[in-house]
Structure 1
Amino acid sequence: MSLTVDIRQTLGAFHLDARFEAPQGVTVLFGRSGSGKTSIINAVAGLTRPDAGRITLGARALYDSDARIALPPHRRRIGYIFQDARLFPHLSVRQNLGYGGWFAGGTDSADFARVVEMLGIGALLERRPGKLSGGERQRVAIGRALLSKPALILADEPLAALDEARKAEILPYFERLRDHGGVPVLYVSHAPAEVARLATSVVALDGGRVSAQGPAAQILGDPSITPLGARAAGAMLEARIAAQHADGITELGAGRLRLLVPRISGAVGTGVRVHIQAQDVMIATRRPEEISALNVLPAQVSTLRLGNGPGALVQLDVDGQLLLARITRRSAKALGLHEGAQVFAVLKAVSVAPQSITGPI
């Protein structure tokens, strides 16, 4: 089942004009604050009504201005996960989860057990929200949304209010939701690493319009698409664990590409995603020797994008995988970079933070 959005809406001085399709998996709405991300999911949820257009979930119209269809929120079969968990403070975790099931006409015990196990909240069932950490509350909020038996889940920057430790705790559960939840997810974020880790597809927004949409690796690796600016640019690689070395280094492989990173858990053959920030990639026209960087990858310049200021973004093809490098225009000129140039991408192993790697895929 997929979600199709084609809407126009004026909100004060802001004009939203968005068209995209969200297939099965996690579709991330990605862009700066004020680009229209929350406005879109509120329209999908039925919390606001567009001026014109159409929103469909599978064959079912949630909103159609021409047909005068505007289903109220409770009839849309949508689970909504907010920035703050919004649990009922006077109810236990078990009762909060049951409230989700109430919307679905009751909670099946097998479904309840499956969701509790998937989210690891069995030990929390008799606690009240005030006794939970931020990450625990968000896990319960995910469970409540799942137990409402939704046809779609909306998540509005659900990690924005959490510190880095709690984000690291909760991200694996959103991965489980993506891989085993069984429903499409429309997820709002402005964090590149979060997008690279979770997204099946990406819809990039700029000023209320869709600037690009497509598979996550394609959108994140395109130097012409930088919804958060060049400083936040980065690419996503899909690889598999090729070896675990005794000195605490994991070797990843994708075709002939080999990438050394700090130790990550997983058996050889496990698929992973790796987010690499453009600012961490250097370019050399000859293979450097006697340097501390462990990763020296033969590459070809696919695209060279010169910014209005002193910077440049270079898209590199590394055996079919796309990397981005953020360098200066002066460096690009000194190296004589051009499309098709054969170069080497240089990356320190420690530049790839453990939270930038996720799996399995």
Structure 2
Amino acid sequence: MISVDVALARSDFTLDVAFEGGQGITALFGPSGCGKTTVIRLVAGLERPDRGRITLGDTVLTDVERGVRLPPHRRRIGLVFQDALLFPHLSVATNLAYGRFFTARERRRVERDAVIAVLGIGHLLDRRPATLSGGERQRVAIGRALLTSPDLLLMDEPLAALDDDRKLEILPFIEHLRDAFAIPILYVSHSVEEVARLAATVVRMDQGRVAAIGAPAEVLAPTGLASAMHRFEAVSVVTGTVAEIDEAYGVTTIAHPAGSIVVPGRLPRVGASVRVTVRATEVTLSRERGTATSVRTALAGRIEAVTTDGGPFALVTVLLDGGETLYAYVTRLGFDALGVAVGDRISALIKAVSIDERGLAGLEAPEKRKA
């Protein structure tokens, strides 16, 4: 377990955070400039806090009061940044070996062959970084970090420098390494879809402080009516079971107590449990399911709350059949035209094309594309 309780003051910014992360992925989430990367640097030992303590399991990494500050190379922490930072003159195999070289033989817990298999990089071993795609380079960088046999893996916006296709390529590999190796991960991102898909715990940060801590469905949900621009960050996370994979149309149908959810792409085997991230701005409310529509997803529920502030928007909280919550941003004009109120039954319509594949936990990696 990683435990962080630190403060750091700069001329134009003050950081004061406290949180704990366990197994799996703990995501630091928030807008640019909120302090996420500063936390990563403090944990890695690249910066020193003014106050506080950082522990990893039974090891004290930093304790300002006691004058303890382990140097970065003794912290047993693997680092993955936006840029893969591979050695351009070395092959993939040699880049991987570099990570293992500086780890004492008795501390080598992570096997090279297992890393290569999980990250799907066996066919790249003889190539140089310049010949790899962005996604391939990042997978090699992750492999190099894993082969140091770290007690903690820090991933600072690892997908930020990649295009959308490369992000979709690498996300399943991050899921696989999360599940295959018992190494906790501290993951920095400002992508709500990535965080909802990958994280067990989300630490939401704002202006150098911790705004909320908890499961993705709790922390990423809107707490009230957001500002006009921030409404795009409001999401719901719903869980269902893969019911059908339609190869002809390239979609997967997920069974949910409130109805079927149709999503783009091929999810794992039928019967697998998956999480789906739905942006509140992509939900349409209807009094009836209707038949004359191309929308295949209609979830049944009851209106639990309606939040307005006199502006153009309303945030509608829908309690879905089965107990999960779905949020919908609509105009007040549109909501009033429906003629419904708190307590009424409602149908929530979601277009499959509006669901970002990055927010689909368990989506299979697409076929390899040319760099």
TM-score, normalised with respect to structure 1: 0.91
Determine whether 1:3 maps to 2:2.
yes
Aligned to 2:278: 276
Determine whether 1:234 maps to 2:240.
no
Aligned to 1:169: 169
* C-alpha distance in structure 1 between counterparts of 2:67 and 2:339, whole Å: 59
* C-alpha distance in structure 2 between counterparts of 1:53 and 1:110, whole Å: 31
Distance 1:126 1:308, change over 3 A: farther
Aligned to 2:324: 321
* C-alpha distance in structure 1 between counterparts of 2:136 and 2:230, whole Å: 33
User: 1:359 deviation in Å?
Assistant: 1.3
Distance 1:268 1:310, change over 3 A: same
User: 1:326 deviation in Å?
Assistant: 1.3
Aligned to 1:82: 81
Structure 2 residues without counterparts, runs of 5 or longer: 365-371
Kept after mapping to 2: 8 A contact 1:223/1:313: no
Distance 1:67 1:308, change over 3 A: farther
Kept after mapping to 2: 8 A contact 1:223/1:324: no
Distance 1:257 1:60, change over 3 A: farther
Distance 1:307 1:233, change over 3 A: farther
Kept after mapping to 2: 8 A contact 1:264/1:354: no
Kept after mapping to 2: 8 A contact 1:197/1:357: yes
* C-alpha distance in structure 2 between counterparts of 1:21 and 1:225, whole Å: 29
Aligned to 1:357: 360
* C-alpha distance in structure 2 between counterparts of 1:151 and 1:126, whole Å: 29
* C-alpha distance in structure 1 between counterparts of 2:11 and 2:145, whole Å: 31
Aligned to 1:154: 154
TM-score, normalised with respect to structure 2: 0.89
Deviation track 1:54-88 (CA, whole Å, cap 9, x = no partner) reads 11111221111222211111111100100001111
Kept after mapping to 2: 8 A contact 1:88/1:96: yes
Determine whether 1:343 maps to 2:346.
yes
1:194-343 equivalences under 5 Å are 194-224=194-224, 229-245=230-246, 248=249, 249-306=251-308, 309-318=311-320, 319-335=322-338, 339-343=342-346
Q: Which amino acid aligns with 1:300?
A: R
Distance 1:18 1:121, change over 3 A: same
User: 1:217 deviation in Å?
Assistant: 1.8
* C-alpha distance in structure 2 between counterparts of 1:307 and 1:178, whole Å: 42
Q: Which amino acid aligns with 1:97?
A: L
Describe the SS at the equivalent of 2:111. helix
User: 1:178 deviation in Å?
Assistant: 1.4
CA RMSD of aligned residues (A): 2.5
* C-alpha distance in structure 1 between counterparts of 2:183 and 2:110, whole Å: 18
Q: Which amino acid aligns with 1:162?
A: L
Aligned to 2:139: 139
Q: Which amino acid aligns with 1:33?
A: S
* C-alpha distance in structure 1 between counterparts of 2:158 and 2:78, whole Å: 13
Aligned to 2:58: 59
Kept after mapping to 2: 8 A contact 1:222/1:315: no
Distance 1:309 1:20, change over 3 A: farther
Aligned to 1:126: 126
1:44-123 equivalences under 5 Å are 44-106=43-105, 111-123=111-123
Q: Which amino acid aligns with 2:178?
A: R
Deviation track 1:270-304 (CA, whole Å, cap 9, x = no partner) reads 22221212111011244445333222221123443
* C-alpha distance in structure 1 between counterparts of 2:81 and 2:69, whole Å: 22
* C-alpha distance in structure 1 between counterparts of 2:91 and 2:324, whole Å: 47
* C-alpha distance in structure 2 between counterparts of 1:144 and 1:158, whole Å: 14
Kept after mapping to 2: 8 A contact 1:35/1:208: yes
Kept after mapping to 1: 8 A contact 2:34/2:205: yes
Kept after mapping to 2: 8 A contact 1:212/1:225: no
Aligned to 1:192: 192
